[in-house]
């Protein structure tokens, strides 16, 4: 259930959103009194490369310096699917796991499990989780195969990550029952942050 993460899997954090409902870019939030990116990296302690994906005008948020590399979307306003493509295009390893800056309680074990599950499915370009609804993150991708799929989806004007399941090489996998509920914590509004005992800012 909790395979050991390996150095051939890149961890990508998407952090380019404007945070309109939060009232500020989510990559600039404080979590437990420190930059949220610091909290995420410390929690995951990922052994492979780490990639931060930001958007034009929101580069270099607090904590960006701790990533192996920061990559900026070439176009603003195209949503998380564009961020995913940016991650796929810049990942230094053939596999990557992806989560978002507004999901600070995803655990290393969940990401490692997704990577191992994908690696055990030859011909599959990506895995999205379900519980039972589709959850875009956390997810796992085979870099080269998934990049072609995501590029095609964007070229066709599609923006929804869950729409990737229309592609034959993208599959869903049920989240194991022992994944804690906190895995799915999503910080969309100030009250979501307050519920975890954190002020915004």
CA nearest neighbour of 108 among 8, 40, 54, 168: 40
Question: Which tens digits make up the pLDDT trace of 86-122?
Answer: 999 999 999 999 999 999 999 999 999 999 999 999 9
The count of other CB atoms within 10 Å of the CB of residue 72 is 17
| Average pLDDT of the segment spanning 115-140 | 94
Task: Kindly give, in sequence order, each residue whose CB lies less than 8 Å from that of residue 129, ignoring residues fewer than 6 positions away.
Answer: 114, 135, 138, 139, 172, 173, 174, 175
E strand or H helix that includes residue 37:
helix 36-44
**What mean pLDDT is reported for the chain?**
90
- Which residues pair with residue 10 across a beta bridge? 96
Residue 1: predicted pLDDT: 43
CA distance 44 to 39: 9
Q: Which domains does the chain have, with CATH numbers?
A: 9-195 (3.90.550.10)
Q: Which pair of tokens denotes residue 106? A: 């995803």
Nearest to 171 by CA among 142, 137, 135, 129: 129
Q: What is the pLDDT of residues 8-36, one digit of tens each?
A: 999 999 998 776 777 788 888 888 889 99
Confidence of residue 190 (pLDDT cuts 50, 70, 90): confident
> In angstroms, how far is the first alpha carbon of the chain from the final one?
36
Q: What is the pLDDT of residue 169?
A: 97
d(CA 61, CA 29): 9
CA distance 38 to 195: 20
């Amino acid at each position: 259930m909790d395979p050991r993460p390996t150095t051939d899997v890149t961890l990508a954090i998407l952090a380019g959103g404007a945070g309109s409902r939060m009232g500020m870019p989510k990559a600039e939030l404080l979590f437990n009194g420190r930059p949220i990116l610091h909290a995420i990296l410390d929690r995951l302690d990922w052994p492979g490369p780490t990639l931060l994906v930001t958007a034009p005008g929101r580069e270099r948020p607090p904590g960006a310096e701790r990533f192996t590399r920061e990559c900026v979307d070439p176009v603003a306003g195209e949503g998380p699917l564009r961020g995913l493509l940016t991650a796929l295009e810049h990942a230094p390893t053939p596999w990557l796991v992806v989560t978002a800056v507004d999901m600070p309680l995803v655990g290393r074990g969940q990401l490692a499990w997704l990577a191992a599950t994908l690696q055990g499915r030859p011909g599959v370009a990506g895995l999205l989780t379900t519980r039972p609804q589709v959850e875009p993150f956390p997810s796992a991708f085979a870099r080269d195969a998934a990049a072609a799929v995501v590029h095609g989806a964007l070229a066709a004007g599609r923006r929804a990550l869950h729409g990737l399941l229309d592609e034959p090489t993208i599959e869903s996998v049920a989240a194991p029952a022992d994944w804690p509920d906190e895995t799915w914590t999503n910080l969309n509004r100030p009250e979501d942050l307050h519920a975890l005992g954190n002020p915004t800012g």
